[in-house]
Amino acid sequence: MPDDILYSIRNLTVEYKTRAGAVRAVDDVSLDIRRGEILGLVGESGCGKSTLGKALMRLHTGPASITAGELWFDGRDLVQLSENEMPDIRGAEIGMVFQDPMTSLNPVQRILDHITETIKTHEPQIELEKSDARARARAEELVERLGIRPERLSDYPHQMSGGMRQRVMISLALALRAKLVIADEPTTSLDVIVEAKFLDLLKELQQEFGLTILLITHNIGVVAEVADRVAVMYAAKMAEVGDVNDVFADPKHPYTQGLLKSVPNIRLNEGELYKMGGAPPNLLHPPVGCRFAPRCPHVKDICTKVDPAFEPVEKDHLASCWLYQEAPVNRS
């Protein structure tokens, strides 16, 4: 694995067992997360982006399981680790920020205790007598950096605003110097002004701490604002990955093209939004060939027969679309 890649997802498949049959929520997905980047992962509800995010920490439970693929994180394949080894990765090396901080924080625990508990759990080598004071000092320093007055550490989660709670979630990841933060819709429950400030903070943390962030969101505008690269998912597959400027200026996959055109842009004066026809397929019975073919304006014969490979179409820009690939010769 090249040194600049922190997390390499190789041909990952995650399946949900349902009464109607197995659903592949993530289907043969490969993606690299580079050190120090903010990678935006976008797609619509049900495309598998959150399942992918959870699988990166092996947080999926119940009916979901990884049925194929490798998860190379910083030199180790997490798929091969035992369940006992995972807690050292979760929280300590990979932090997570969810959409709704109120359900991620313990309502009867003060903010300070959230942070010190995290530090003490993962760093048991600190002597017990000293640990409280040291953990507290670190917590104070941390939240202050994130723009929360240290006095607020004795607050309970409900006493804080949504934006503050989301900053507390980030502080939990930073407390242990996590290498990767997976943020799943972190600003979706925030108002625009608070969202703008939170995004500014993410950028600063990326630069200051060299933090790597996987930003999962449905909000294309948020990705344009902070991400360095963007990955687009459609119906459990990776549709396109590339530098954010390249993908926005010259999207390759017809799904990305339609998606970008249907996003309202407050700075433009176009009269109407683009309307993409159809709906994503039912993943219990995905269509044969390219999954976007039934909705695609450029559909060709091959598209409904063979699934395109996820391949480079330009330097550092991958897409899975037959528009850019040679059709196989008479493969039956």
Partner 1 sequence: MAQPQLKNDSPSPANKNADDLVQVKNLRKHFPVQSGFIAEMLNRGQIPAVKAVDGVSFSIRRGEVFGLAGESGSGKSTVGRLVLGLLEPTDGQMIFDGNDLGSLKPEEMRRLRSRMQVIFQDPLASLNPRMSIGEAILHPVKIHITNDPREGREVVYQILKKVGLAPPEQYYDKFPHQISGGQRQRIVIARALVTTPDLVVADEPIAMADVSVRSLLLDLMMRLKNELNLTYLFITHDLATAKYICDRIAIMYLGRLCEIGPLADVYEHSGHPYTRALLEAVPVPDPRHRRKEPMPAGEIPSAINPPSGCRFHPRCPIAQANCAVDEPELRELRPGHQIACHYAEQFLE
Q: Which residues bind partner 1 (CB under 8 A)?
A: 44-45, 161, 163-164, 191-197, 199-200, 218-222, 224-225, 227, 244-245, 248, 258-260, 262-267, 272-276, 279
Q: Which is nearer to partner 1, 14 or 164 (CB)?
A: 164
Q: How far is the CB of 74 from partner 1 (least distance, A)?
A: 28
81/35 Cα distance (integer angstroms): 22
* Shortest Å distance, C-beta 279 to partner 1: 6
Do 314 and 247 contact (CB within 8 A), yes or no? no
Do 291 and 235 meet the contact criterion of CB atoms below 8 Å apart? yes
Q: How far is the CB of 184 from partner 1 (least distance, A)?
A: 16
Q: Between residues 45 and 330, which has the closer beta carbon with respect to partner 1?
A: 45
Q: With respect to partner 1, which residue has the nearer C-beta, 57 or 164?
A: 164
In this complex, which beta carbon is closest to partner 1, that of residue 12 or of residue 293?
293
Nearest to partner 1 of 130, 267 (CB atom): 267
CB of 250 to partner 1, least distance (A): 12
Q: Are 319 and 313 in contact (CB under 8 A)?
A: yes
Q: How far is the CB of 10 from partner 1 (least distance, A)?
A: 28
SS3 of residue 130 by DSSP: helix
Decide whether 180 or 222 has the Cβ nearer to partner 1. Answer: 222
Distance CA(70)–CA(30), nearest Å, equals: 9
As given in the structure block, the two tokens for residue 181 are 């933060």
- Residue 221 Cβ, how far from partner 1 at the closest point, in Å? 3
Q: Which of 188, 101, 213 has the alpha carbon at shortest distance from 148?
A: 101
Rounded CA-CA distance 231/241 in Å is: 4
Beta strands of the chain (E only): which ranges? 5-18, 21-34, 38-42, 64-73, 76-77, 94-97, 180-184, 212-217, 229-234, 237-243, 311-314, 317-319
Q: How far is the CB of 277 from partner 1 (least distance, A)?
A: 8
Is 25 or 178 the residue whose CB approaches partner 1 more closely? Answer: 25
Tokens 């949900």 — which residue? 16
Tell me the C-alpha to C-alpha distance, in Å, between residue 41 and each of 95, 184, 250. 16, 9, 17
